[in-house]
Amino acid sequence: MFKQDLKDPSNRLSSWTSEGDCCNWSGVVCDSFTGHVRELHLNNPNPYVSVPFLFILNYKGLTWLGGTINPSLLYLKHLNYLDLRYKNFQGNQIPSFFGPLKSLRYLNLSQAGFQGMIPPQLGNLSNLRVLGLSDYMLKAENLERVSGISHLQNQDMSFTNLSKPANWLNEINMLPSLLELRMEACILSPVPPPTIINFTSLSILDLSLTRNLMPSWAFNLTNVVSLYLRDSGLQGTVSTCPPDLSLDNLCKLIDLDLSSNSLHGNVSEIFESLSVCSSYRIVIVVGK
């Protein structure tokens, strides 16, 4: 039933027939004891890695699995992993009926060809650990429902339009278990820094290409290991970016990208700022 609404030009789902055990179908993983379907790995290969750039559009149009999502997916009551990355869902909206899939711990819809508003029903997926919504065709009215997914550890909303949520930072700040946050090239409205930082466990933060944001709060995340602020509108000297702040709090930092910003000064000043830290390896990118 799920297969019937999909377009499968490369015949990836040829094993999905009425004969044999569905646990042997391509992309299907079952519980070895109960036989319940637990995982669906239906992502296409990343076209930006697997094919030359000039053939990306042709590759997407001719061979990507796509079509529409059949609500029969809801029959999989024990599904905890759903990967639909790099699909061709032809500008359809993300189905709101994903909400009842309460067992999901991993949901990745990045670059899947969905368009329009991110449905607030995704906030009902209270067991999610990983949520991928990276796509330039997606947007959100607010992130209030997503902020209720208290166990969320990895969130990727790169390229999405988040210009309407006026409290986007405070809403993300309500995720105490967050370890990785990627918001590269998001359209974000300027917001004041939170008075108290709740997502203190954050270890990877990517705000690259989010211009004129001046994320001073990012320099107070003491557990950050990787901080990516490429082309994010930072100005001033390398020792005081953002102005009047240093890197002294980032004692676990390993990777720092400050490239393509309006910074000047001696790069050695960054190392001096980090001299009290215990990091055994630091990779810093500051040039154009």
CATH number of the domain where residue 170 is located? 3.80.10.10
Residue 105 sits in the same domain as residue 229: no
Cβ pair 250, 221 in contact under 8 A: yes
Say if 31 falls within a structural domain: yes
For the CA atoms of 72, 76, 80, 85, the dihedral, rounded to the nearest 10 degrees, stands at: -30
Helix (H) / strand (E) element for 37: namely strand 37-41
Residue 18 sits in the same domain as residue 150: yes
pLDDT at 55: 41
Residue 239 sits in the same domain as residue 153: no
Residue 118 sits in the same domain as residue 214: no
CA 223 – CA 202 distance, rounded (Å): 6
Cβ pair 284, 272 in contact under 8 A: no
CA 177 – CA 4 distance, rounded (Å): 38
CA 125 – CA 152 distance, rounded (Å): 10
pLDDT at 276: 54
Structure tokens belonging to residue 197: 């930082």
Residue 146 sits in the same domain as residue 208: no
Residue 93 sits in the same domain as residue 151: yes
Residue 177 sits in the same domain as residue 209: no
pLDDT at 280: 47
- Full residue range of the structural domain in which residue 177 is found: 3-182
pLDDT at 202: 95
Residue 148 sits in the same domain as residue 218: no
Q: Which residues of 15-53 are buried (b: 16+ CB within 10 A; e: fewer)?
A: ebeeeeeeeebeebebeeeeeebbbbebbbeebeeeeee
pLDDT at 157: 95
pLDDT at 97: 93
Say if 188 falls within a structural domain: no
Instruction: Give the model confidence (pLDDT) of 27-53 as tens digits.
Output: 999 999 999 999 999 987 665 544 444
Residue 286 sits in the same domain as residue 176: no
pTM above the 0.75 mark? yes
pLDDT at 3: 94
- The residues, any chain, with a CB within 8 Å of residue 247's CB and separated by 6 or more, are 219, 253, 256, 270, 273, 274
CA 204 – CA 130 distance, rounded (Å): 14
Say if 148 falls within a structural domain: yes
Using DSSP bridges, classify how beta strands 187-188 and 226-228 pair: parallel, antiparallel or unpaired. Answer: unpaired
Say if 87 falls within a structural domain: yes
In the chain, the number of structural domains is 2
Residue 232 sits in the same domain as residue 93: no
- Which ranges of the chain have pLDDT less than 50? 49-61, 244, 280
